[in-house]
Amino acid sequence: MTDTGNQEKTDSEIIDLARTNADFFGVLMERYEAPLLRYIRRISSFDRDDAEDILQEAFIKAYRNLNDFDHDSKFSSWMYRIVHNQTIDTARKRKLRTVVSIDEHDLTHILRAATDIGGDAERKDELAIISDAIRALPETYREALILRFLEEKSYEEIMDILRLPKGTVATLISRGKKILHERLRKAGIER
């Protein structure tokens, strides 16, 4: 079912086909597997196997609720919300605190987008301090920054994923950046 013609179809077109033929849902799974798996790993401490299990559960939930999908929304936002909720639910069931897993490339990307020190943050010792500062952010700020700067989601998409009003999303991103700036300034990293 994943021939080139299907890959060129929009998400909405594939959803309509998947509602009558389950094989078409595989096209959506292929399309979103890598970014969603990366997102799970970024917002949690789950290893790859657990992240794949979470993603599988999320895809099952999405397929079961495909008839409830509102075509006025973006499928990607809807899918990210399902994955986000599944990750949080799994962490709660296992009594785990969600811990961000951010690699050096991600750190540099966030810093270039959210601060003025991206170019200066290449040294390993600074990266460790920066990583700790991001991990120490309250979860809501951290998630908003990850969605905005790593997943490159628009404010509208973040609103859909986190189920928050636009003003709240803007505030979370702004305050998250401000807290991050302050912590890095106190650590002597941000000039």
**Cα separation, 62 vs 36, whole angstroms:** 13
Q: In the chain, how many domains are there?
A: 2
Burial 106-128 (b: 16+ CB within 10 A, else e): bbbbbbeebbebeeebeeeebbe
Tell me: do 112 and 182 sit in the same domain: yes
Give the SS3 label for residue 179. Answer: helix
Element (H, E) at 186: helix 166-186
pLDDT, tens digit (0-9, with 9 covering 90-100), for 84-118:
999 989 988 887 655 555 555 555 556 555 555 44
Q: Express each pLDDT in 5-19 by its tens digit.
A: 677 899 999 999 999
Q: What global pTM score does this model have?
A: 0.77
On whether both 148 and 86 belong to a single domain, the answer is no
Structural domain containing residue 159: 104-186
